Amino acid sequence: MSITDILSPSDIAAALRDCQAPDSFSPKKFFQISGMSKKSSSQLKEIFRILDNDQSGFIEEDELKYFLQRFECGARVLTTSETKTLLAAADHDGDGKIGAEGIN
């Protein structure tokens, strides 16, 4: 399954355009523009599975910097501060990684 089976390619493109400049990525805004904030729990779990590059069941900080590239291979890498902001927003138990519940 591809992420475009769940999210509209045009919504993904709009979300990526919105955060092209370094340090312009906002997790909440990206989730809204991409349509992720409107998806069901099961759809979000499928998106998580796609984003979990090593299929460990968690998205670790080193995977997060490539977050945008999981939506489009030519997208930019997140900056260190953006990566830390995304991790802080979704790491509900403070273990330094995001579980599937973190993207709800």
What are the mean pLDDT values of the chain's consecutive 10-residue runs (104 residues total)?
95 98 96 96 93 93 94 96 94 89 64
Q: Is 91 among the annotated ligand-binding positions?
A: yes
Q: Is 2 among the annotated ligand-binding positions?
A: no
d(CA 13, CA 89): 22
Q: Is 30 among the annotated ligand-binding positions?
A: no
- pLDDT digit string, tens, across residues 36-66: 999 999 999 999 999 999 999 999 999 999 9
H or E stretch at 98: strand 97-98
Q: Is 58 among the annotated ligand-binding positions?
A: yes
Q: Is 18 among the annotated ligand-binding positions?
A: no
Put simply, whether the predicted model's pTM sits higher than 0.85 gets the answer: yes
Q: Is 97 among the annotated ligand-binding positions?
A: yes
